[in-house]
Amino acid sequence: MNIRNKSKSIEEIREDIPEEYKDFNNRVFNKVVFEKLPDRSKWDHAIKLISNVILKDCKIYPLNVKEQKELDKFLDEHLKSGRIRLSKLPCAAPFFFVKKKDGSL
């Protein structure tokens, strides 16, 4: 089974899923399910920051217009869904783009 084969349709790929995993198809590989965060639980935790710590200076790399639009789109989508939250940290978080096979970001 090669699910990366672009010549197969979604339906054909779903047919290749072994029977014992088909029950998970709508619970795992479903965008609607992905949009919902898990319920809060006793394992949730916060990261306690140490006060009066001097953070290392972080370099900010400029993005071209296309990259900045994609980053803004990603951040807006994930902030709205609640998958990420605004940070209180006064420094940037590293990220990188991986181009898709069609050349888009």
Percent of the chain at pLDDT > 70 equals 92
Question: Dihedral sign, CA of 52, 53, 56, 60?
Answer: negative
Q: Is the pLDDT of residue 3 over 60?
A: no
In whole angstroms, give the CA distance from residue 25 to residue 14.
8
55 token code pair: 């953070």
Per-domain residue ranges of the chain: 1-38, 54-105
Q: Is the pLDDT of residue 1 over 70?
A: no
pLDDT, one tens digit per residue, over 50-77 is 888 887 777 778 899 999 999 999 999 9
In whole angstroms, give the CA distance from residue 68 to residue 54.
29
pTM of the entire predicted model: 0.55
Helices (H), 1-105: 10-16, 19-22, 25-28, 31-35, 65-81
